[in-house]
A and B are shown apart, each in its own frame.
Chain A
Amino acid sequence: MSAPSLLARDLAAIVGETHVRAARAQRVTYAMDGLPTHRRVPDLVVLPGSREELIAVVRLLAAHGVPFVPRGAGTGLSGGALADAGAVLVVLTRLNRLLRVDARNRSATVEPGVVNAKLSAAVHAQGLQYAPDPSSQSACTIGGNVAENAGGPHCLKYGVTANHILALELLLADGSLVQIGSPGGEPWGPDLVGLFVGSEGNFGIATSITVRLTPLPRAVRTMLADFSSLRAAGEGVSAVIAAGIVPAALEMMDQSCICAVEDSVYAAGYPRDAAAILLVEIDGRNADAVVAETDAVADLLRRAGARAVRIAASDAERERLWQGRKKAFGAMGRLSRDLVVQDAVVPRSALPHVLETIAGIAQRYGLVVSNVFHAGDGNLHPNISFDATDPALTARVEAASAEIMSTCIAAGGTITGEHGVGLDKLRYMPLIFDADSLGAMHAVRKVFDPHERVNPGKVIPVHACREWTSRAVA
């Protein structure tokens, strides 16, 4: 019996044979995440069904020195949940129990495989929500959100995942358990919760996650503003931010994206002739204040050059406007066989310039680039439509992506705002961090996982790190 077969047998003894995927046809299912440019077929896939099974699996892998990759729903967009040869993929979607809701203290404790949208749905009746709302929220898991420090449209006002995690139980690579954070969010010492969130699985697995819940707003107003140029829309964003009003969401879509949505089943009534639209949501606990702030924002957008500002008159209209935004990535599937969803952040005032530069890059490479993004945060998602079976086209996509990243960095920005580094952005890390800073991160990872067995090869380009231990005094 070969080594993987022996391991498969031992894993099956823990989780049951049906929850170990050893046949290639089964493993291929896990070869990609949401990004089509990276593909790895794992040697073995295991799906534990309980915390105890998960602990036993990780301890077995530790005993054999086998690397492993935690994976949630596989909706990530950085190649972060792919397992190279020799690594076992540990899929956490069966750990999907809502363990506790504490409405009085506005918190909930969940297993990592709980789907984001299901958590909000579960606490809705108590007037609460889990605020971070990635576009993939109907599928992505809270564990994945924690690993990636996921964002979403409403993070402009409510903050990203890191602002909503109070406590974690961690399972480290050696199989040991660690309790960090506290029910109120105050750390017991250094903020290890803050350090863990966004570590992309490199520090271990969060086996239970205590999140902060937020009261549902009592009043919500959503408006659609359309513009005849990207620059004017960008200036509209700046005007709203500078006015000191914090919308719940401030999203932008360009014409290519608008038309893709309008051609799809998610058609939301966006004006096809607009160069860009802004989708702005104002919410709050006081209806009068929400109306006043909505009017103020509408006025600012008109002054910035909006051709029209339409305020949704009903919940149904509001939901339709949002459906177009949240399903935009799906709608873009109509444009071509494959789609690279890019992710970068720039200072908000740089949006007009950067958007124009990206349009120039697209033109030069002969590519279709559609923009749908969190404009209020300056978090861009230039999406490149292409056919991954065409090597020459794929090479152009890679080159254009690199230029887009360089443009964002030159504007004072960064290479990822919410999707993570994973495999895809490894090559860009040395563009924003020097060798000592990368070395520090690598050294921190080794505190949690000395043998680098959890999600190996992700986040930190080890070749670009300065050796961290060289200055240690003997």
Chain B
Amino acid sequence: MTILEKVTALLGEGAVLEAGTDRVPRIAPGSPDAVALLLGTAHQEGWRVRIEGAGTWLPSDAPADLALTTRRLDRVPAIEPADLTATAEAGIGLDQLRQQLADRGAWLAIDPPGLAGRTLGSVVATGTAGPLRHAFGPIKDHLLGVTFVTGDGRMVQSGGRVMKNVAGYDLTRLQAGGFGAFGVIVLVHLRLRTLPRADITYLLEGTREELTQVGEDIAAAGLTPAALELVSPALARRERWVLGVRLAGSPALVAADEAGLGAATGGGRFTALRAEEAHAFWMRLAEGFAVRPVTFRIGGVPATSDELLDLLQHQLGDEWISASPAAGAIRWTGDTSIDRLQRLRRTLAGMEVPMTLERAPWPVRGAVGHFGAYREGVGPLVAGLRRTFDPGGALVVATEGS
């Protein structure tokens, strides 16, 4: 029997999707149990499995015996507006989830890079936060728990559905940003907020230096924007750099910050966007990171943001960059070589700045790795965790690169 015949016998024809150009069978299990069944079989048979969500972020070109896509795991078993929690399967598109939450007055305060239909599981697995990280933190801070399936087909629960939980070790945080190295996320318990009653975006154009100073003035004035994002001209499709300031929250808080914004920056220079313009601005920013071949993030400290932007400009060019200076987080996208990425990672490691490769063609992922330049003692722990959650090495994940 071929792999496809075996999988069809195991999960039924409905789980088999049309293969991609590399003709690797694409399997879409319809339930978490089916994921466990598939991975348990893959482990026993020695199949290599690549994980895909919507096929836009996780590697849909990795060499594998089969592709496991979570796209049929698209149910939302629970939305609890009174508790500000929700439970969603990993394959649901973020756009669909956002709509269902908004219908109940709830908000998942994340705005990850990528296309609107990107799956929740992919966002969690890659830990890709967007500009809202400024106020609401990294992706892991929005998770109450996850259920995942290990490379040998075991279903593991971590965390729960309540706001605080210290029962057992926090495997949820291990999964957030693990790129699937420790299993396939099938179910996610989310921490929500109420939809902001006021939500306004202001833009300011200028040189990078000018806007960096404005950002510092805003912070010094004690304003609390939801996002404070510095965007390169090419990514913003503007003549100059852009500082996007998003104020979101209670009307009282937003009104106070609006008044403070004028006072902190000399007044009048910001342009307020209409709601549809603001939506388009932030969407364009997110989607920009899904269209060029390579995307990575680096995480420094606020004081080094300027230096890091200079470094990126010098080593790779600064065409498509977005930065949350106050969070020390920078994301770059473009076309570059394996050699340049490896050199950049080494340079950054010397500055105590981690670089995480988020998206790239498989040859680049394989050579550079999502992670690398581990500090003292980390490599053996990561390898041990990999063996624990994927003892047969079924999951094709480029953790450290070659």
Contacts and interface: CB of A to CB of B under 8 A. Distances in A.
B43 interface: yes
A24 to B, nearest CB: 33
Contacts of B166: 148-149, 198, 416-421
Given A197-B170, A286-B222, A471-B154, A176 B164 contact: no
Interface string B162-196: 11111111111110111001100000000001111
Contacts of A322: none
Interface string A77-106: 000000000000000000000000010111
Contacts of A349: 80, 82-83
A425 B224 contact: no
B152 A105 contact: no
Contacts of B171: 195, 440-441, 444
A195 B173 contact: yes
Interface in A143-201: 148-149, 151, 155, 159-160, 162-163, 170, 172, 176-180, 182-192, 194-195, 197-199
B164 A160 contact: yes
A190 B302 contact: no
Contact of B157 (A242, A437, A443): A437
A180 B256 contact: no
B252 A182 contact: no
A417 B165 CA distance: 4
A194 B164 contact: no
Interface string B81-92: 111110000000
Given A242-B82, A349-B82, A284 B164 contact: no
A433 interface: yes
B329 interface: yes
A244 B173 contact: no
Contacts of B173: 162, 191, 194-195, 197
Interface string A395-420: 00000000000000000111111111
Contact of B302 (A105, A155, A288, A348): A105
A288 B167 contact: no
A443 B388 contact: yes
Contacts of B181: 190
Contacts of A106: 302
Interface stretch (A3-11, A31-39, A260-268, A289-297): A289-297
Among B177, B303, B377, find the residue whose CB has the most chain A CB atoms closer than 10 A.
B377
Interface in A198-230: 198-199, 202, 215, 218
Contacts of B81: 242
Interface string B365-399: 00000111111111001101100110110000001
A214 B252 CA distance: 22
A440 B154 contact: yes
A468 B253 contact: no
Contacts of A202: 169
B155 interface: yes
B82 A188 contact: no
B52 interface: no
B163 A379 contact: yes
Nearest to A421: B167
A209 B162 CA distance: 27
A90 B141 CA distance: 32
Contacts of B275: none
B167 A184 contact: no
B137 interface: yes
A319 interface: no
A181 to B, nearest CB: 9
A345 interface: yes
B354 interface: yes
B163 A377 contact: yes
A186 B399 CA distance: 16
A108 B78 CA distance: 40
B106 to A, nearest CB: 10
A245 interface: yes
A194 B176 contact: yes
A441 B158 CA distance: 9
B222 A180 contact: no
Nearest to B81: A242
B168 A459 contact: yes
Given A184-B301, A417-B165, A433-B168, A194 B391 contact: no
Interface residues of B, number: 92
Interface range on chain A: under 10, 10 to 19, 20 to 34, or 35 or more?
Answer: 35 or more
B32 to A, nearest CB: 13
Contacts of B174: 190-192, 194-195, 444
Among B176, B181, B375, find the residue whose CB has the most chain A CB atoms closer than 10 A.
B375
A441 B223 contact: no
Contacts of B385: 190, 444, 447
B19 to A, nearest CB: 26
A245 B251 CA distance: 10
A243 interface: yes
A385 interface: no
Nearest to B138: A185
Contacts of B328: 105, 184-186
Contact of B375 (A172, A176, A180, A197): A180
Interface in B263-305: 297-303
B162 A244 contact: no
Given A416-B166, A425-B167, A178 B378 contact: yes
Contacts of B356: 186
A27 B93 CA distance: 58
Nearest to B302: A105
A296 B250 CA distance: 10
B73 interface: no
A437 B137 CA distance: 27
Contact of A444 (B197, B353, B388, B392): B388
A420 B167 CA distance: 6
B60 interface: no
B162 A441 contact: no
Contact of A437 (B83, B156, B375, B384): B156
Interface string B289-333: 000000001111111000000000000000000000001110000
Contacts of B85: 347
Contacts of A1: none
Contacts of A334: none
A434 interface: yes
Contacts of A75: none
B260 interface: yes
Contacts of A192: 174, 378, 381-382
19 contacts: A177-B376, A185-B328, A190-B178, A191-B173, A192-B378, A195-B169, A195-B170, A241-B84, A284-B224, A289-B253, A293-B250, A293-B252, A348-B83, A378-B162, A379-B164, A417-B162, A434-B157, A459-B169, A472-B392
Interface of A: 102, 104-107, 148-149, 151, 155, 159-160, 162-163, 170, 172, 176-180, 182-192, 194-195, 197-199, 202, 215, 218, 238, 241-246, 284-286, 288-289, 292-293, 296, 345-349, 374, 377-379, 412-421, 425, 428-429, 432-434, 436-441, 443-445, 447-448, 459-460, 468-469, 471-473
Kindly list the 9 A-B residue pairs having the minimum CB-CB distance in the complex, ordered from nearest: A186-B299, A194-B173, A244-B194, A178-B377, A292-B252, A285-B222, A189-B371, A417-B164, A447-B384
